Chain A
Amino acid sequence: MERPIIKVTNLNRSYNLIEGKQLVSRQQIFDNLNFSVQEGEFVGVVGPSGCGKSTLLNIIGSLDSVGNKNYIKIQPSQNNDKDIRMPEIEGEGSVMVNDQDIHLLKGAKKARFINENIGFIFQFHHLIPELTALQNIALPMQIRGQSKKTASQKALALLKEMDMAHHANRKPDILSGGEKQRVAIARALINSPLILLADEPTGSLHPQFKKDIINLFIRLNREKKITIVMVTHDVDSLYDDKKNLMITRLFSLTGSSVDPVSCQRTNES
């Protein structure tokens, strides 16, 4: 039996909108969310804007925390002199990634966990413009403590794998959107992570590059057995010409299987 590499259990998250020390509204985006991904799966997370797809990805990747955060002082509705502290973001639940409760990770341990286990790919590439493509790709490996030479060699190998070797010494500014995203994917792969978390990786690309990138992800998943969780709006690109789903499965944050319509929201004042 395959073990779940990602296991989200009873995850709650809500945002308190506070204006002038008064709680104006409360927006709940996760209500006892349960979600798990088996090792080697390629899961597409779908849902309309604002329903928490990126937040889920960020929580799984330890960029965002599970618990409460951003405490600010508010005046309670009763006539009480004392201000109370309320979190702007409330959350609870359990998120296990590779058998590690990520809520317990702090500081250097958290950084090491991200560096060794997670590969992030963002919609807007998020490459460092002052560094060349090769330097950008080598960065996570150098952060891990590998020498510049070793990291550069591996980065070059990845660039060759993506047919981008001739762009090694070019800076991101002069690369096309698709090329930038390939560099970002190579950067995410350099430490051979267990999980790739891709947040709308095709969202900013020209349609002709979208298919290439999705195919690249599928190839990585099939050939390298990398677990991939990808947030996307572009569900169509996940189907082949015969309307077969090319990835393991889709996960809708709204509960519907493929065609999510709206997110469940609870507003309280």
Chain B
Amino acid sequence: MLELTLSKYLVKRIYSILLTSGAIIGVACLIIILSLFYNYYLSSEKVFMGIHPHIEIHKDMTPEDSLRLISLIKKHIEEITQIQPALYLKLRAEISEAGRTKAFCIQQDDAMLCHSRTDGTGTLHTKYGFHIKKKQTTDIMLKGICLDEGRPVMAFQKLINGGTNLSRIVQYEDTNHNPLPPGFYLEQGLFNALTGFFLIHFKGLESRKLQYWLNGSLDMGTKKGQYPLLIMSLESAQYAAKKENLINTIEVRINRPYRADKISQKIRALLNDNSFRIENWIEKERASFTFLTIIKWMIFAIIFSISIVAAISIFSTLYLTVLENRKKIAILKALGMKNASIYIIFLFKTLTIGLMGTIFGCLLGYSGSYGFIYLFKESLEKLGLENPQPHLSMYDISVVAALTIGLFLLTAVIPARNAVKIDPIEGLNQ
């Protein structure tokens, strides 16, 4: 096409190379950032997907009623992979971080602070004492849950920093039937870092002073308006909260988490009872997803400034090119070239730069993402990105390509208009 050929000759090759390089760098940076952010997004999505059961059905009921309900739902909803009763309670608790000392007890009369291990015959085996380091009274969300073949309905084991032993959720007696601190999972936020032994004293339940061993903590922070999350066995929770015969939640795990909305509707239709409150993980984390998306596009906008700088360079180069080539443009007009074709010459130039920038920028960005991940894999994993891989969605590539090419095409409008306006007589006499 003639316009394409002329666009090659009107803008000097060195300018084209430099401008295309700028475009490639701009697009590559965008792709690297989007690719890395996509990792973070997916990790966060996994977190959100696992931190809650996919679907929660809330209503106070007896354990027997809950089993009947579970049986009904399991029978009619095929997508369910796990369904268990649970007790969710908001409680006020005093949580203390404590050090345990063997064969030492400060207050013999207080079961809370002293713990004795005996053998099967009742003979004292070991004595432990605790001394409190930190103490905090706070509202907490207590979740008493059941395991199914060692797995909770929530996939929160993926979130734990440090060692986990899920079986300890239900193991709260030793082989001598001595009470052991049941394992629990605590969302961080109470103290900067919780490790080792903790003592919990539920306010209003004075006789239920309990001691726990921390199995792991969820490094998620505490969202505004929500309480730190304490997870333990259903029996432990019922015992701690003095609600031995209460179930108030059915936790559901499904095989297609992204269809949680639709499956919630199916359950709602099946139960046909407004006293049941049904929530799914997507609804619960909608604000978080929105936040992540906003952050993603904010980062995108900041990095896109590289492309804007490249676009400004293209604009100034084309502007100067028109000034430099007034005579050539006048010649083309004297030969009968249409204004539209002169426009197209400049649009082709920016389109070529934009296309080259997008194609090679995407390739460089994709390989750059691999390089970054290879170099910083450990750091990324420490940040919570599990097995980071470059991820690029067609949507992201399309947005980058459309914005880059669109922006570059815009830069050609004013120079092309100036070219069209050149008076052939003045141009030829230059």
Contacts and interface: CB of A to CB of B under 8 A. Distances in A.
B338 interface: yes
Nearest to A112: B336
Given A111-B338, A143-B341, A128 B328 contact: yes
Nearest to A138: B2
A126 B336 CA distance: 14
A129 to B, nearest CB: 8
Contacts of A144: 336
A63 B81 CA distance: 80
Interface in B283-340: 327-328, 330-340
Given A63-B334, A187-B335, A108 B340 contact: yes
B425 interface: yes
A111 B333 contact: yes
A140 B335 CA distance: 6
Contact of A114 (B330, B335, B428): B335
B424 interface: yes
A234 interface: no
A114 B338 CA distance: 10
Q: From DSSP, what is the main secondary structure of chain A's interface residues? A: helix
B9 interface: yes
A109 B339 CA distance: 11
Contacts of A187: 335
A143 B2 contact: yes
Interface in A121-163: 122, 126-128, 130-131, 139-140, 142-144, 148
A38 to B, nearest CB: 24
A84 B159 CA distance: 77
Contacts of B424: 63
Contacts of A122: 334, 428
Chain A, interface size category, equals: 20 to 34
B339 A111 contact: yes
Contacts of A64: 425
A61 B330 CA distance: 13
Given A63-B424, A122-B428, A142-B2, A128 B336 contact: no
A36 interface: no
- Among B9, B327, B330, B334, chain A packs the most CB atoms within 10 A around the CB of B334
Nearest to B424: A63
A143 to B, nearest CB: 5
B11 to A, nearest CB: 11
A6 to B, nearest CB: 17
B425 A111 contact: no
A107 interface: yes
Contacts of B337: 111, 115, 143
A108 B327 CA distance: 20
Interface string A181-195: 000000100000000
Contacts of B330: 126
B336 A140 contact: yes
B38 to A, nearest CB: 45
Contacts of A120: 334-335
Contacts of B328: 128
A193 to B, nearest CB: 10
A58 interface: yes
Contact of B425 (A63, A115, A126, A130): A63
A114 B331 CA distance: 12
A92 interface: no
A127 B428 CA distance: 11
A118 B9 CA distance: 25
Interface of A: 58, 61, 63-64, 107-108, 111-116, 118, 120, 122, 126-128, 130-131, 139-140, 142-144, 148, 187
The list of the 6 closest CB pairs from A to B, nearest first, reads: A115-B336, A114-B336, A130-B9, A111-B338, A142-B2, A140-B335
26 contacts: A61-B334, A63-B333, A63-B334, A63-B424, A63-B428, A64-B425, A107-B338, A108-B339, A108-B340, A111-B336, A111-B338, A112-B336, A114-B335, A115-B336, A118-B336, A122-B334, A126-B334, A126-B428, A128-B9, A128-B331, A139-B335, A140-B335, A142-B2, A143-B335, A143-B341, A144-B336
Given A122-B334, A143-B337, 5 more contacts: A64-B425, A107-B339, A108-B340, A111-B338, A118-B336
